[in-house]
Structure 1
Amino acid sequence: MGVPPPPAGPGVAPPFAAPPSDKNKRSLWIGLGVGGLVMVLCCIGSVVGIGVVYAGAMETTKRQAAALVTEYLKRVQGEDYGAARALFCKELQAEVSTSRLATRYRDRPFTSFRVGTASVAAEISVTATLVTDGGDITEKYYFATAENPTADATLSICDIE
């Protein structure tokens, strides 16, 4: 049996009108192309944005590590060994007492120092050149870490070579 035809008369329309069709598909393809281009630009922008944030975080970490080593060496040079030891991580503080730290630097004091740039790879390392009163030059490597890796984590020295 089929669907009965609509009744005859004025103002009567079939139950479902046929949708209008555009015989030219050009506007459809233009819309899809613009939408695809916008999507690609958003993806590229996201990748670039993540890269910029990552690079900024690395530069901030490098500056913080160099500032940490500079502060440590200033405290040692001023013979404030307790304050210098406070910049160590918990593990290194447990290994090195204030008197041991004082003995280490009193036996071979330095008159000046120069802190190099930090390197961030598997660990954060900072090179410093120490110059003694006799003109001897020693290069030391300081390794830093964030004990509580959060957004506002502060660095501490965890090893010195």
Structure 2
Amino acid sequence: MTLAAGAPSPTDAPPPPPGPGVTPPFAAPPTEGRNARMWLSLGIAGLAAVLCCGAGGTALVGLVITQAESLNEQADTIVGDYFDALAEGKYEDAYELLCDDLQRDETPAQFTARVTREPRVTSYQVGDVNLTDLTVPTDVTYATGGRDRLEITLAQDSGTGQFEVCGIAG
């Protein structure tokens, strides 16, 4: 059978659509395991954040505790030095431990005259510093046998940064 010139031949028909087993024009993204990897990544990131914040919080608590203990140690030293100086009759040393305001109100001679008239402290027990108002409760025993609880007010020296005795209330 002969075909006329220009007539389509049966072999010139359009190709059939691709079927099974045909390679697609692009690679399909994998879908298997995608959600599991995402949740695992989020879990690891969350754990890292918790560990970092937890370590920071622990460090902050440690810093606060260390600072409070340091203040208690300084207060114990200053109050102890003050009462020791008075007990040993070293009034000039005790006067030097007073804050500037108290030293302006009273000369060393006036201070010596005043503390020699007061009952002598033979022993004392310094408590913990109240951080809100920088007072230290101190239990004292006098040479007369009496006992008292004094509130020692502390102030920080602007020059040295050390605590100083800035008031005693009974």
Question: TM-score range with shorter-chain normalisation?
Answer: 0.7 to 0.9
Following superposition, the deviation at residue 38 of structure 1 comes to 0.9
> Residues 29-68 of structure 1 correspond to what in structure 2 (within 5 A)?
29-68=39-78
CA distance in 1, matches of 2:27, 2:77: 74
2:128 maps to what in 1? 118
RMSD: 2.5
Is the alpha carbon distance of 1:37 and 1:160 closer, same or farther for their aligned partners in structure 2, counting shifts above 3 Å?
A: same
Q: Decide which structure has the larger Cα Rg and report it.
A: 2
* Aligned residues with identical type, % of pairs: 20
Following superposition, the deviation at residue 46 of structure 1 comes to 0.6
Which stretches in structure 2 are left out of the alignment for 5+ residues? 1-25
Corresponding residue pairs, total:
144
Following superposition, the deviation at residue 127 of structure 1 comes to 2.4
TM superposition score normalised by structure 1: 0.77
1:5 maps to what in 2? none
CA contact (8 A) 2:119 2:144 kept: no
Which stretches in structure 1 are left out of the alignment for 5+ residues? 1-16
Of stretches 24-33 and 120-129 in structure 1, the one that deviates more from structure 2 is 120-129
- Structure 2 residue corresponding to 1:74, chosen from 84, 89, 95: 84
1:24 maps to what in 2? 33
The answer to which structure has the higher strand fraction is: 1
Of stretches 38-47 and 21-30 in structure 1, the one that deviates more from structure 2 is 21-30
2:114 maps to what in 1? 104
Is the alpha carbon distance of 1:19 and 1:97 closer, same or farther for their aligned partners in structure 2, counting shifts above 3 Å?
A: farther
Runs of 4+ in 1 over 6 A off after TM superposition: none
CA distance in 1, matches of 2:92, 2:133: 25
TM superposition score normalised by structure 2: 0.73
CA distance in 2, matches of 1:21, 1:155: 70
Give CA deviations for 1:57-86 in whole Å, capped at 9, x if unaligned.
101101110111010001111121111111
Give CA deviations for 1:121-155 in whole Å, capped at 9, x if unaligned.
31222223333332232332111122349xx8321
